[in-house]
Amino acid sequence: MKKIYFLTYDLTARGGISYYARALIPALKKKEPNLVIIELKQKNRWHRLASLLVCAILAPKGALIISNHVNFLRAFAPLKRLKNFSLSAITINREIEHPSVIPMLRKVDHLFPMFYHGQARLEALGVPSENISHINNILEQSGQPSTDIKPEHQFLVIARLDKFDAKIKGFFYLLRALRQCKNIRVVIAGSGDSKALLEAYCQRFNIQDQVSFRGFVDDKEKISLMRAASIFVHLSDGEGLPCITVMEAIEQGCRILVHDDPRGDVNRLVAKMPLIPVNRYKSSLLADTLQKEAKKQKSKTKVTFVQAKNSINHYSAENVVKVIAAKMGF
């Protein structure tokens, strides 16, 4: 019987990668009770690489490796032929086009992108189509709120506010649009080293009364904020849809304002999910969309929740494991 390893970041960490691992591991263990979890808690990447090298050396021949991040396979790839490893990785948008990652993608036996257009993007990078299978994101449902809620605020953002995410997620494009529509109020929840920059921007352009910064919120407060919002704002151009926070917001009856990236998944999903597509780079268009949506129905109705239920029913960890197990042969 093949030994199966699952590589992941610190399971207690915040962020989508660790969330995904926490949701996926129970379903993997149900399918394969002898699954070995390798949890990488080291903050320093070189310490992390050293730990992975030790794991790769000690792993038995023929081991099957499932990585929650393609970078973790750096230590296993050089030993792949010698030890007959079967390598697979779950991939997200923003990691696959990094110059240091591209050669790794071509050495992996199977890649599981969490975004619909992953097939074409990976093929363009030289990965054979037979080595690619799309998997869904995972939603741990928190329960439906009651319908016909009158939201306390119209627009909500929940995200990490570090410098990298600030660039990817388009916070400044949202704030720039707010300068053109003084009647709009936005709640931004999250912490990070860009929070002070965002607050300073609001002060500089006199929109500080339109934006409420809540800082870090735990899961309970996050769901409360989503229930109290009409529209969840997700203007990222570096993540595939539907990401976890988007699905959680849909579950709570929110419509989703998304960046209409032609490389992305919006066109595929707009008929299935309550999405409001807009090009984040066109400030006037974004401002017009904010104002238009603010004037619409401000209570959540049963129709919203039916659409939400239909959107998220199949986003289960068990369905993801079925795809991985079928392709990796366990």
Compute CA distances 139 → 59, 150, 154, whole Å: 32, 25, 24
Task: Return the minimum-mean-pLDDT range out of 79-83, 113-117, 135-139, 241-245.
Answer: 241-245
Q: Work out the average pLDDT over 293-297.
A: 78
Task: Return the minimum-mean-pLDDT range out of 40-54, 178-192, 207-221, 251-265.
Answer: 251-265
Strand partners, 65: 5, 87
Task: Return the minimum-mean-pLDDT range out of 19-33, 70-84, 227-241.
Answer: 227-241
Backbone angles phi, psi at 228, to 5 degrees: -90, 5
Residues 201, 175: contact at Cβ < 8 Å?
yes
How far apart (Å, rounded) are the C-alpha atoms in residues 191 and 15? 12
The confidence score (pLDDT) of residue 146 equals 45
Query: What are the pLDDT digits (tens) for 192-232?
Result: 989 999 999 999 999 999 999 999 998 889 988 998 888 99
Backbone angles phi, psi at 227, to 5 degrees: -65, -25
Write down the CATH superfamily of domain 153-312: Glycogen Phosphorylase B; (3.40.50.2000)
The CATH code that applies to domain 4-138+315-328 is: 3.40.50.2000
Map out the domains of the chain as residue ranges.
4-138+315-328, 153-312
Q: Work out the average pLDDT over 8-16.
A: 83
Establish whether domains 4-138+315-328 and 153-312 are of one fold.
Answer: yes
Residues 245, 269: contact at Cβ < 8 Å?
no
